[in-house]
Structure 1
Amino acid sequence: MGIGNIFRAFQPKDKIFFDLFERIADTLIDMSKTFHEGLLEFDVNDESMLNQMSDYEHKMDDLTHEVFVQLGENFITPFDREDISQLAAGLDDIADYIYASAKYIYLYKTPENKVYSEFSLLIYKSCVELKKAIENLKDFKNPNEVKESCIKINSYENIADDVLSQATVKLFETNDAILIIKQKSILDYLEVVTDKAEDVANIMESIVIKYA
């Protein structure tokens, strides 16, 4: 019996961890979609999108906490406890930085920058692939699909790096020191979201290598 089959044989019957991770992934998709759509029709005087981001961030905190509660209550886990912990924390980081990005966009009240929505689209696409990867990670049935989603997430992060570089060059050409400080901070937060998504992809790829 292969190591993957051994782990499947001892998985909790209720699959509580995978259920939680799927709920977390669904929340990230909803959060990133709302964020992207909010930036496409951005109004600095309408804080409804920021409030929604705060609500999603709190929901993610609750779901992440539940993962750790289940770690304390379940002796048998679908894969290594440290990997579960890192995966949960990594997914929560994505939500934290989406919320931070939204917060500073509103706090700084800088002129609309279409680059923000370019980042938010990459973030949304990354979250969609994270959901696919988590679904395919369940029971280790589709390791190749997990790897494919991870490759796409890595490619989105590379695109985000290019978007940041190009946006930074244009920003410095304005010679507006205050604008540069504010928008560069926002751009950095947005780019970090894609870094965090790549971190999660790397964790899942590592899990597949270990157990699939």
Structure 2
Amino acid sequence: MPAGALFTIWARRAVAIGAVFALAGCAAGNHPAQPESTGLANPANAEIAAKAQMPGVSQMYETAAAAYGGGDYRRAAELFGVLAGDAADPVLARRAAYGQACALLLAAGAPEEYAAALAKWNAWAATPPRPEIAEDPRMLAPLLQVQRQPGGARDAAKPSKADAECARRLADKEKEVRLLVNQIKALEKIHREIQERKKELSSP
């Protein structure tokens, strides 16, 4: 084969190989390389993922507040307790802790329950206040309307009509009993006087 023809063949091969590499470079340029994973999660994405795993948190708080407003303090304390311990949002968690303390104070019936509720209140009060968190002061209204003794018992409320009627009947019965006792004593006195009179008449 002549030297000129051989050179032409090698030149064509070189051009073809160059074209292949050029096309590969263009393909790489059209698809930018993915960044290498560092193994560290993006904090913003982690927060979004955490909130995505807790659907209905706001709805649960509204349900707890509704139970509190309806007087179901034990149910409210249960729901507020879940939010106070598990809520990813610190603002919501503090408000829930406040609601739980108020609900437990109102639901306490025994001294030990009141002591536990007071401990929850003290735990909430011990956390530093934050300007962006505003607990609902209206939750204190039921607490202000119900006074409690140190032992946890409620002060005696105004008696109902049924209680007042029972008290009146009891007082009437006590009067009847006292009257009967006085009558019995009077009869016993008369009986003694009669017996003494008989003795006097029977004596010589």
User: Does TM-score exceed 0.5, indicating one fold?
Assistant: no
TM-score, normalisation: structure 1: 0.28
Relative CO higher for 1 or 2, CA cutoff 8 Å, sep ≥ 6?
Answer: 1
TM-score, normalisation: structure 2: 0.29
Select the structure that is richer in helix.
1
